[in-house]
């Protein structure tokens, strides 16, 4: 009796994963680990260039394949590979390659790793810009941080980005959602069927029980990829408003800011006399987080859940953030630090936690409890695999139940297919240059 063939997964990456540069890269590696634990074979492909902090996929036994946009060479590649599951890393990859996957591997389960709702992040960015234009001197962002779900929908619904992203979600068989807030938004406001969504947050292997103690820690820390617009905005807010208020109370305090791909505009903010240190990429983010006393994450816009805050909890480092930073991360459980809505309140909370060992210890314990209750890979990895297997087992009926998705695939994929073929034909017709 022959053994069944192992499940083969093709991942089409928007970028090659960099788990030490971004939460998205870390989440992708957590998903990959969940698949490897099942003995599944994985091929990772991407049209992107190789980043300097790329994960060593080959060391995990994962095949790596470079693919091209708008090129029919992908058709032969996926036909030969014949994967059982295709995972699109962000909706742009589903737009580009979804019709090719459906044409050549119609029975493959199509899974979309959303990472976060980019259209939500974009809408919030536009709202912040409008707020700063209309109220340049106002420090209280409470109205910006607390719109109703209906108001959020109204800010998103007319945008081209939202229509593209929600269409990709409908076209996919299963969508991995990192934030419960975004699941609720999609179901209640965009009327996406719950059967298409699966909660898959950031994951941790285990919750530490011992940390560097309060007395042996010093300084404030902020960390995040500078290519991510919410992180850059947070750095600017800290530089101009938050950090000066902290220094008024703690004249010797230092803020260490780490981030991958640090641009010149960020290094220009480096000012040791102000205690404001821009220190580029951290070789070991958990090590620097573990030595800091407070993590600052004053995010004024964004989406998804925040890797830097999960790392802070993992290191026993209390954090001070905004409602956007804490969104989707703690449910009804106490926060691992403080959630504030103005520069003055963020500064006051940061100073209090920095100086109060008991409040600091309580915040650390809240972080441990959150990780244990909501983020264990031993819970979410098997749940993800189980959901995927259930979708595969009833795929025909699952797709029949998603008529809107079938309709969007019929129309959108045809237009995308013709555009892609036109681009390929145009590129192949270019004259050679000497």
Mind listing the pLDDT tens digit for each residue in 213-225?
999 999 999 998 8
Mind listing the pLDDT tens digit for each residue in 138-193?
788 988 898 899 999 999 999 999 999 999 999 999 999 999 999 999 999 999 99
Single residue among 375, 393, 412 that ends a domain in this structure: 375
Q: Is 359 found in the same domain as 247?
A: yes
Single residue among 338, 359, 375 that ends a domain in this structure: 375
On whether residue 2 sits in a domain, the answer given is no
Q: What is the pTM of this model?
A: 0.92
Q: Is 421 found in the same domain as 289?
A: no
Which has more pLDDT, 227 or 40?
Answer: 40
| Low-confidence winner among 90-99, 191-200, 362-371, 406-415 (lowest mean pLDDT) | 406-415
217: closest CA among 287, 308, 278, 307? 287
Residue 323 sits in which domain range? 214-375
| Low-confidence winner among 16-20, 186-190, 307-311, 326-330 (lowest mean pLDDT) | 16-20
Q: Is 106 found in the same domain as 68?
A: yes
On whether residue 164 sits in a domain, the answer given is yes
Q: Is 391 found in the same domain as 303?
A: no
pLDDT tier at 422, thresholds 50, 70, 90: low
What domain count does the chain have? 2
> Residue 235 sits in a domain of what CATH number?
3.40.50.2000
Q: Is 363 found in the same domain as 266?
A: yes
Q: Is 243 found in the same domain as 313?
A: yes
**CA-to-CA distance for 7 and 5, rounded, in angstroms?**
6
Q: Is 384 found in the same domain as 361?
A: no
Answer for the pair 204, 238: CB distance below 8 angstroms, yes or no: no
Burial readout 380-413 (b: 16 or more C-beta within 10 A, e: otherwise) = bbeebbebbeebbeeeeebbeebeebeebbeebb
Q: Is 405 found in the same domain as 323?
A: no
């Amino acid at each position: 009796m022959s053994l069944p063939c192992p499940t083969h997964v093709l991942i089409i990456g928007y970028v090659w994963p960099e788990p030490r540069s971004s939460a998205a890269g870390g989440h992708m590696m957590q998903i990959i680990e969940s698949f490897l634990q099942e003995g599944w074979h994985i091929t990772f492909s991407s049209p992107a260039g190789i980043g300097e902090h790329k994960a060593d996929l080959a060391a995990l036994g994962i095949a790596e394949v470079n693919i091209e946009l708008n090129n029919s060479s992908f058709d032969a590649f996926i036909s030969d590979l014949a994967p059982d599951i295709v995972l699109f890393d962000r909706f742009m990859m589903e737009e580009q390659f979804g019709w090719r996957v459906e044409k050549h591997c119609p029975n493959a389960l199509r899974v979309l790793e959303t990472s976060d709702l980019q259209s939500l992040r974009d809408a919030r960015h536009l709202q912040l810009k409008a707020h700063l234009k209309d109220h340049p001197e106002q420090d209280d962002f409470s109205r910006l941080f607390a719109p109703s779900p209906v108001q959020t929908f109204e800010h998103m619904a007319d945008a081209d980005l939202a229509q593209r992203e929600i269409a990709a979600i409908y076209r996919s068989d299963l969508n991995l959602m990192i934030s419960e807030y975004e699941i609720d938004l999609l179901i209640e406001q965009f009327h996406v069927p719950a059967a298409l969504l699966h909660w898959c947050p950031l994951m941790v292997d285990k919750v530490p029980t011992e940390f560097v103690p309060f007395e042996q820690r010093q300084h404030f820390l902020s960390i995040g990829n500078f290519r991510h617009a919410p992180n850059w905005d947070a750095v600017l807010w800290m530089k101009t408003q938050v950090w000066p208020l902290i220094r008024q109370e703690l004249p010797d305090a230092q803020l260490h800011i780490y981030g991958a791909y640090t641009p010149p505009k960020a290094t220009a903010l480096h000012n040791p006399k102000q205690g404001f240190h821009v220190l580029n990429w951290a070789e070991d983010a958990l090590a620097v987080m573990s030595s800091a006393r407070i993590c600052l994450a004053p995010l004024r816009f964004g989406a998804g859940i925040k890797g830097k805050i999960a790392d802070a909890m993992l290191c026993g480092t209390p954090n001070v953030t905004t409602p956007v930073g804490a969104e989707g991360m703690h449910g009804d459980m106490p926060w691992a630090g403080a959630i504030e809505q103005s520069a003055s309140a963020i500064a006051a909370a940061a100073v209090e936690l920095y100086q109060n060992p008991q409040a600091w210890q309580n915040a650390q314990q809240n972080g441990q409890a959150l990780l244990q209750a909501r983020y264990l890979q031993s819970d979410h990895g098997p749940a993800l695999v189980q959901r995927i297997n259930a979708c595969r087992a009833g795929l025909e009926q699952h797709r029949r139940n998603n008529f809107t998705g079938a309709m969007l695939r019929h129309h959108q994929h045809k237009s995308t297919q013709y555009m892609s073929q036109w681009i390929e034909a145009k590129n192949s017709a270019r004259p050679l240059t000497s």
